[in-house]
Structure 1
Amino acid sequence: MSRIRFHVSAMSVALVMIAGGCAVTAKDDSTTSANSVTSALVAKRSEPYLYMGWGDPPSPSAVMNASGVRSFTMAFVLSSGGCNPAWDGSRPLTGGVDANAISEIRNAGGDIVPSFGGWSGNKLGPNCATASELAGAYQKVIDAYQLKAIDIDIENTDEFENPTVQDRILSALKIVKDNNPGIVTIATFGTTTSGPNDTGKRLIDQSKALGSNIDIFTLMPFDFGSSNIYNDTVGAAEGLKSKLQSTFGWSDAEAYGHIGISGMNGLSDQQEMTSVETWTQIRDWARGKGLARLAFWAANRDRGCPGGGVVSNCSGIAQSDWEFSRVTAGF
């Protein structure tokens, strides 16, 4: 299923298209137990995306003060050539606007998780020749910011739909886990209204087979052409829960505890409308089920502009500024 989502390269602003188990044996018990313990230790994460190269980036501390949100997902770490990480593939890893925003967030008592990937731009997954090299690229960012979590946004077809690259990413995450005890790893990817598609299911199966020990599987449930985004979001998350249960043998609570939702506030690219009220419903459902993460694309768009259409710096609907962030902070 193809979908449209905002994303830009370092040089332009554009709308672009995105790509929308076995039984547990005695041999698998230790893996299942370890993942269950990890789930119990992962605190709930409420972290809107913030993109410093697009959409009139707001002052993160202003958003924090107005909404109560304390964490952001910083988009996007890409390849600046070969296996070298950089913000948006062009801005310096340290010493630039992204580093300044991170300092502002931390000085205000918050924290960040960087997102590697997204849709457009040059990805690290295909450019790093081996899992070890890719893990090294992730490690450069971890070390630069003393990170407690990373998000791997596996949506571009060069990563998501390429089995070799998908496995490289999953193997790199295992190395990251081994080398950084306690770090939280997040995989974010597209979905159908009933849960992961076949490629998403493969990612989940391979994460078990390769021992990736991913903490949170985050779905992007939007751009379905939906007439009821709440129902379709719940349906997608329930489908993911069932897949996690069949793959890992988890209980309902364990499976929910490994799930994240990353929505799109206001108007989506297919003109679906997620109102503040609907996002509150989604938040309350996710909180009630014990999900691990709630995010949305993006804080840059968390400003009202009724009739404004689908644009980069506001939601296209009537709302108070930073209202989606305020709701997300209540997760």
Structure 2
Amino acid sequence: MSHALSHGRRPLSRRLRPVATAVAVAAVAGGTAFTAQAEPSAATPPTLAAAPQAVAPYLYNGWGNPPDPAEVQQATGVSWFTLAFVLSDGTCDPKWDGSRPLTGDVDQRTVDTVRKGGGDVVPSFGGASGNKLEESCADSDALAGAYQKVIDAYGLKAIDIDIEGDAYNSAVIQQKTIDALKKVKADNAGLVTYVTFPSDQGGPDDSMIGRAADSGLEVDGWTIMPFDFGGAGQNMADLTEQATDGLKNTVKSAYGYSDDDAYRHSGLSSMNGITDNQETVTTGDFESILAYASEHHLARLSFWSVNRDRPCPGAYPNDDTCSGVDQDAWQFTKIFARYQG
């Protein structure tokens, strides 16, 4: 299956920025990531979807008019954000968008603000454009070291690896990423991992998932981006469910899971409002997607992006400052914030 750039997290919505998303590997460490609940039995461990980071919409500081995360937290009940993007500066050294320092700038202020509000962040590595650590780092050990540098800098409970485009289509880079994640998980007890990548209407191809299973890497949430399927006039809720069912089947086949376990290791990251291909994902679609995610206990329910979750000041500008649909501020975020896993 070929992967058009439009499936790799918005060439339109991110083309003015250094990067976009496709494979998101979110890692979450420590028991504090889970909401308070009765002590589970050994046979029924808490699922990732019960944790607050399971609903962490993307927040992007690198372009446009980023929202105040404290305002979003207070208005919606969402506490976590997937913070985009960690890239290469041309070497195997991680920086925000490949240029902003890892600590001490706007991104650290965002982390501090979110944590002050009772939440946390899932830094997102990669995207559709810009220099990728997955490409710049010479081997899996070096790549794992770059991931670890960010984990240590922020005492992270989560990371998000976003792999797409040439990086996703390269078997060598896929394997390097898988091996690096195996090392990071071994070195960070309790680290939870998501992997997000493109999908067609029937679901993703099995390349990354199959290689991971063959390599002994078990991630907590394989995440697809179910949009940019081909233009306006489509029922995006139905297509989202169809693609995620396809993801579940791929995960089930690779790992030998039951249907239930496969859904619990699957996730989705939608796009709110008008997509790059001029599809429209409405708040009604989000309600349907929420019901579907709740029925199947998906590992992750996210979207690109909270930056867009507000009405446009005028005509839709084809960028990431608003959704392009008639809405109140943070309306999409409020819907997914109700997800209980």
Aligned partner (choices 194, 219, 226) of residue 214 of structure 1: 219
**Aligned residue identity for 1:269:** D
Tell me if 1:58 matches 2:67: yes
Q: Deviations over 1:179-200 (max 9, x none)?
A: 0010111111000110113xxx
1:15-94 matches, within 5 Å, as: 40=47, 43-44=50-51, 45-94=54-103
Gaps of 5+ in 2: 24-42
Between structures 1 and 2, the one with greater strand share: 1
> 1 CA distance for matches of 2:88 and 2:330?
31
Query: Which residue of structure 2 lines up, in the alignment, with residue 170 of structure 1?
Result: 178
The C-alpha deviation readout for 1:115-169, integer Å capped at 9, x for no partner, is 1001110000011011000000000000011111211111131x10111111000
Alpha-carbon contact 2:19-2:129 (below 8 Å) kept: no
1:223–1:40 CA distance, 2 compared to 1 (3 A): same
Map of 1:148 onto structure 2: 157
Seen in structure 2, the aligned counterparts of structure 1 residues 84 and 218 have a Cα distance that, compared at 3 Å, is same
Question: How far did residue 40 of structure 1 move?
Answer: 3.6
Match in the other structure for 1:190: 198
Single out whichever of 164-173 and 244-253 deviates more from structure 2. 244-253
Inter-CA distance 246–38: structure 2 relative to 1 (3 Å threshold): farther
Aligned residue in 1 for 2:305: 298
Q: Distance in 2 between matches of 1:271 and 1:321?
A: 21
- Taking structure 1 as reference, are residues 37 and 122 closer, same or farther at Cα in structure 2, changes over 3 Å only? farther
Q: TM-score, normalised by structure 2?
A: 0.86
Aligned residue in 1 for 2:26: none
Instruction: Judge conservation of contact 1:50–1:75 (CA < 8 Å) in 2.
Output: yes
Query: 1:258 is matched with which residue: 262, 265, 285?
Result: 265
TM-score w.r.t. the length of structure 1 is 0.88
Gaps of 5+ in 1: 20-35
User: Contact 1:3–1:224 at 8 Å: present in 2 too?
Assistant: no
Shift of 1:55: 2.5
Change (3 A) 1:93 1:185: same
Q: Take 2:83 and 2:135, find their aligned partners in 1: how far apart are those partners?
A: 21
1:199-225 Cα deviation digits (max 9, x unpaired): xx0111110111222111000000102
Moved >2 Å (runs of 4+): 6-9, 12-19, 36-44
Residues 1:17 and 1:294: Cα distance change in structure 2 (over 3 Å) = closer
Query: Are positions 1:242 and 2:249 aligned together?
Result: yes
Taking the aligned partners of 1:141 and 1:49, their CA distance within structure 2 comes to 18
CA distance in 2, matches of 1:326, 1:142: 29
RMSD: 2.1
Contact 1:170 1:207 in 2 (8 A): yes
Of the three residues 105, 110, 113, the one matched with 1:101 is 110
- The corresponding residue for 1:283 is 290
In structure 1, what residue type is equivalent to 2:222?
Answer: F
Q: Once the two structures are aligned, what percentage of the paired residues are identical? A: 46
Matched, 1:232 2:232: no
CA 1:285/1:104 → structure 2, altered by over 3 Å: closer, same or farther? same
User: Does the Cα contact within 8 Å between 2:5 and 2:165 map onto a contact in 1?
Assistant: no
Query: In 2, Cα distance between the equivalents of 1:263 and 1:74?
Result: 16
CA gap of 1:17–1:64, structure 2 versus 1, over 3 A, is closer
Give the secondary-structure state (helix, strand or coil) at the position aligned to 2:180. helix
Number of residue-to-residue matches in the alignment = 309
- Aligned partners of 1:99 and 1:15: how far apart in 2? 19
Which letter maps to 1:222? Answer: F
Equivalent pair of 2:21/2:127 in contact (CA under 8 Å): no
| Contact 1:3 1:18 (8 Å CA) reproduced | no
The code of the aligned residue for 1:175 comes to K
**Secondary structure of 1:313's aligned partner:** coil
**Pairing 1:273–2:280 present:** yes
Structure 1 43/176 Cα, relative in aligned 2: closer, same or farther at 3 Å?
Answer: farther
Tell me what 1:132 maps to.
141
| CA distance, structure 2, for counterparts of residue 239 and residue 67 of structure 1 | 31
After superposition, the C-alpha distances for 1:215-266 in whole angstroms (9 at most, x for unaligned) are 1100000010251111111011001111111111111110010111101100
